[in-house]
Structure 1
Amino acid sequence: MTAVVALVLTVAALTAHTWVNGARWLRRPDAGPVEVTEPVAVLLPLRDEADRVAPCLRALLAQRGVPDLRIVVLDDGSTDGTADVVRVVAGDDPRLTLLAGVAPPPGWLGKPHACWQLATRTDPAATVLAFVDADVALAPYAVAAAVTELRAARAALLSPYPRILVRTAADRLVQPLLQWLWLTFLPLRAMERSPRPSLAAAGGQFLVVDRAGYLRAGGHAAVADKVLEDIELARAVKRSGGRIALADGSKLAACRMYETWPQLRDGYTKSLWASFGHPLAAAAVVTVLLLLYTAPPLVAVGAVLAGAPAVAALAVLAYLLGVAGRAASARATGGRAWPDALAHPVSVGVLGWLTFRSYHLRKRRRLSWRGRPVS
């Protein structure tokens, strides 16, 4: 009984933290008409994105509120005609420049190298750099709003996390965990105020940086071999004395990260090992998550069968509190709360399996992404 009471209190505290983060501390850039006067470069790295880059490009070309806007696209060795799609969509728009990338040298992973090429080959007059992924579609004033929030936060790096589009059951189980994890376990106000690099979060789908602060941190060259280059870049900014900020970008951008279950499975598998570090740390974190969020409904069933209604009631309460935390996270980030939150114990279980798979394949040197080795 004591253990179950402790479980309820722990989940209740974490759910309260999720609510406070989402309702009080999460920045929410205004998606309405806003204008910035400084020059901004939007940087788009592409590798074999011919089938989905067109909506992203059209949204970039439709940006408003940034009179001095440059769009720089890097074709990173695509073999599916990505560059041709870029040329067709861009037409003769003078704001867009298409660059041909070179293969990453030893010690570099593909994504950091592509981003570094973009940052160092764009017009040096741009004071703000906005990195965007091909699966992101921006609202008309998204870039202007993000730059405005970057300056309001007095930050060197702002991560306006997009609304993650979900269509399949696998999407709905796994994708919302991204926002839920940092809203539940990361104190947002302390993250912004503290100089500690360990208190950092960022999403590379849409990342806005002050150019001077980015270069002072070493840019993507400082995270050349990092799978989670977005989070590591945020840490590098902190180490260089800069501030970082996280925002709800659900009104600014939408992102459909993976089209199929194999893509989603492999996408998480390639990077989860880097999220936790040492396998023992991963095992400890996953065990705690399973105990807090997957065990309660199992304990409730077991308690009912054992004739312990009080224990069963407490276990059900723990489950419902976990569901409430998941729903609070969804509401704070433009996600789908119901009925998806009811399956939260299953979601955490799938996360545990993906984490095990990530370490298993890394140990056997079988991790790769888009035809390139990850580790």
Structure 2
Amino acid sequence: MTAALLLLLGVTVLTAHTVVNAGRWLRRPTDRPVEVTEPVAVLLPLRDEADRVTPCLRALLAQRGVPGLGVVVLDDGSGDGTAEVVRAVVADDPRVTLLTGVDPPPGWLGKPHACWQLATRVEEPATALVFVDADVVLEPYAVAAAVTELRAAGATLLSPYPRIVVRTTADRLVQPLLQWLWLTFLPLRAMERSPRPSLAAAGGQFLVVDRAGYLRAGGHAAVADQVLEDIELARAVKRAGGRIALADGSRLASCRMYEDWPQLRDGYTKSLWASFGHPGAAAVVLTVLLALYTAPPLVAGAALLAGAPTVAGVAVGAYLAGVAGRWVSARATSGRAWPDALGHPVSVAVLGWLTLRSYHLRKRRRLSWRGRPVG
């Protein structure tokens, strides 16, 4: 009984934190028409994105409220005709520059190197840089709204997290955990105020930075060998004396990260080891997550079979508290809240399996992404 009560207490406290984060501290950039007067450069790294870059490009060309907008695209060694698709979509639009990337030198991973090539090709007078991935589709005033929020927050780096598009069962199980994890476990207000680099989060799909602060932090050259280059860039900004902020960008952008289960599985596998760090730390975190969110329905079932209805009731309460946290997170970020939240214990279990797979493949030096080794 004591263990069941502790589970209920732990999950309830964390769900209350999710509610506070979502209701009080989560930034929400405006989705109304807004205009910025400063020049902005949107940077788009591409590698084998011929099949899905068109909606992204069209959305960039349709941006409003940024009179000084420039778009710089880098074809990072694609072998599928990505550059030809870019040329066909942008035609002779003078706002767009298409670059041909070079292979990353020793010590660099592909994504940081592509972003650094883009950033170093941006010319004056651009004062804000917006990094966007090919799977992101922006609303017409997204860039203007994100830059406005960056300046309002007094931040060097702003991460407006897009709405994650889910279509398959695997999507619905795994993808919502991204927002749920930082809304549940990250104190957003403290993250913005604290200079500690360890207290940082960011999503590289849609990232807005002050150009001077970005360069002062070393830019992507400071995170050349990092799998989670977005989070490490946020930490580099803090080390350089800058501030970072997270925002709900679900009204500004949408993102379909992976097309199928193998892509999703391999996408998470390549980076989860870097999220947790030392295997011992990962073991502790996963044990806590599984105990709090996956164990309660199992404990409830076992207690009913053992003739302990009171214990079963407490365990059901812990399960429902976890479901409530998942529901709040989804509602706060324009995700699918119902009935997906009911499967939260399964989601956490899948996350545990993906994390174990990540460490296993890294130990065997079998991690790769887009044809390049990682980890």
TM-score for both structures, normalised by structure 1: 1.00
Find the aligned partners of 1:349 and 1:332 in 2 and give their Cα distance.
23
Find the aligned partners of 2:92 and 2:32 in 1 and give their Cα distance.
28
Q: Secondary structure at the match of 2:296?
A: helix
Q: How far is 1:2 from its partner?
A: 1.0
Find the aligned partners of 1:334 and 1:107 in 2 and give their Cα distance.
38
**Superposed CA RMSD:** 0.4
- Residues 73-92 of structure 1: pairs in structure 2 closer than 5 A: 73-92=73-92
Runs of 4+ in 1 over 6 A off after TM superposition: none
Tell me what 1:193 maps to: 193
Tell me what 2:156 maps to: 156
Percent identity (aligned): 84
**What letter is aligned with 2:101?**
G
What are the superposed Cα offsets for residues 32-81 of structure 1, whole Å, 9 maximum, x if unpaired?
10000000000000000000000000000000000000000000000000
Find the aligned partners of 2:287 and 2:350 in 1 and give their Cα distance.
13
Tell me what 2:103 maps to: 103
Moved more, 116-125 or 210-219: 116-125
Does the alignment pair 1:231 with 2:219?
Answer: no
Tell me what 1:184 maps to: 184
- Residues 1-375 of structure 1: pairs in structure 2 closer than 5 A: 1-375=1-375
User: How many residues align structurally?
Assistant: 375
Find the aligned partners of 2:340 and 2:330 in 1 and give their Cα distance.
9
Find the aligned partners of 2:3 and 2:346 in 1 and give their Cα distance.
22
Find the aligned partners of 2:139 and 2:39 in 1 and give their Cα distance.
19
Find the aligned partners of 2:211 and 2:263 in 1 and give their Cα distance.
33
What are the superposed Cα offsets for residues 253-283 of structure 1, whole Å, 9 maximum, x if unpaired?
0000000000000000000000000001101
Find the aligned partners of 1:289 and 1:83 in 2 and give their Cα distance.
43
Find the aligned partners of 2:224 and 2:350 in 1 and give their Cα distance.
30
**What letter is aligned with 1:156?**
T
Find the aligned partners of 1:328 and 1:283 in 2 and give their Cα distance.
27
Q: Secondary structure at the match of 1:150?
A: helix
Q: Secondary structure at the match of 1:287?
A: helix
Find the aligned partners of 1:353 and 1:300 in 2 and give their Cα distance.
23
Q: Secondary structure at the match of 1:180?
A: helix
Find the aligned partners of 1:36 and 1:132 in 2 and give their Cα distance.
18
**What letter is aligned with 1:242?**
G
TM-score for both structures, normalised by structure 2: 1.00
Find the aligned partners of 1:294 and 1:306 in 2 and give their Cα distance.
19
Q: Secondary structure at the match of 1:23?
A: helix
Q: How far is 1:124 from its partner?
A: 2.8
Find the aligned partners of 1:11 and 1:306 in 2 and give their Cα distance.
24
Unaligned runs of 5+ in 2: none
**What letter is aligned with 2:365?**
R
